[in-house]
Amino acid sequence: MPGGMAEISQYRGVIVPMVSPFTQDGRPDAAAVGRLVDRLIAAGVHGIFVLGTTGEGASIARQDQRELVRATVQAVAGRATTYAGISGNCLQESVDAGAAYRDLGIDALVAHPPFYFPIPERDVEKYFEKLAEAVPLPLVLYNIPKTTHVSIPVDAVRRLSGHRNIAGIKDSAGDLPRLEQLMAAVGADSQFKIFVGSSSLCCAGLRLGAHGLVPSTANFAPQPYVQMYDAAMQGRWDEAAALQKQADELSARYQQGRTLGESIAALKAILAQQGICGATVLPPLHAIAGES
């Protein structure tokens, strides 16, 4: 039986979708993982999410995925909640990855819908039911239609929220009305957690009652998000709004005028300038010149 749901209160706060540091030859860089994790935890983040979109999870070989998970868990050393992506088009491979990551010490798993075959809404729900039943750790749904071209219906999320092994959803649709619908469907007081995956909607999501934030910009600037979350938890909404504006300006440094893949490369270039990790990205992405 899947375990860990007794600790569901830990699924909250600022969760960083960590970049995956690589050496120049494209292999996992465990030393850089350690530097990045230490910096993020020192800033007060609550969770580290490895092998997400920002972490180029879909481009990394299976063995290297496991090495990155191992390095992340070792670096975190129990100081924050750890999440690992198991998204894919093969259900069994996702299940196998979940079991491997459980053995390596990950706390929770994250998966977006499969995207190769067009599937109707009901089949998206059925897929997550099967995945949640098969994996040995709590599962967080991941809605990111920009990459999958599939959106998890709000009604399906409502029904899935009652599953004993589904902990929440990371919603990266960038759609404020959808966030409003999710909160109305599930409720801020539910054990099912809603995480805002779009940096520009962090403050708005917290106002609605979202339980946490998953902003890629926090890789190089975690403090505004930690401070925003803390301010929101204490009802200091003017301060939270000001921090959102600051965070938006930071995000624009590497996102504005770029595709998603170009933004990831630019984010790594910033981290390289800061001496945290190299600028290497994996194909089909390519490295860009350093950011100012």
Tell me the pLDDT tens digit for each residue of 190-232.
789 999 999 999 999 999 999 999 999 999 999 999 999 999 9
Secondary structure, 3-state, the chain: CCCCHHHHHHCCEEEEECCCCECCCCCECHHHHHHHHHHHHHCCCCEEEECCCCCCHHHCCHHHHHHHHHHHHHHHCCCCEEEEECCCCCHHHHHHHHHHHHHHCCCEEEECCCCCCCCCHHHHHHHHHHHHHHCCCCEEEEECHHHHCCCCCHHHHHHHCCCCCEEEEEECCCCHHHHHHHHHHHCCCCCCEEEECCHHHHHHHHHHCCCEECCHHHHCCCHHHHHHHHHHHCCCHHHHHHHHHHHHHHHHHHHCCCCHHHHHHHHHHHHHHCCCCCCCCCCCCCCCCCCC
User: Considering the domain boundaries, does residue 150 fall inside one?
Assistant: yes
283, part of any domain? no
Query: What pLDDT, on the 0 to 100 scale, is given for residue 290?
Result: 57
Q: Is residue 141 part of a domain?
A: yes
| pTM given for the model | 0.95
- State the total domains in the chain: 1
Whether residue 291 is contained in a domain is answered as: no
Residue-range definition of the domain harbouring residue 264: 10-273
pLDDT above 90 coverage of the chain, percent: 91
pLDDT score at 190? 76
Domain assignment present for 5: no
**Domain CATH for 158:** 3.20.20.70
Question: Is 6 a residue whose pLDDT tops 60?
Answer: no
**Structural domain includes residue 286:** no
Q: Is residue 288 part of a domain?
A: no
Is the residue at 253 inside a domain? yes
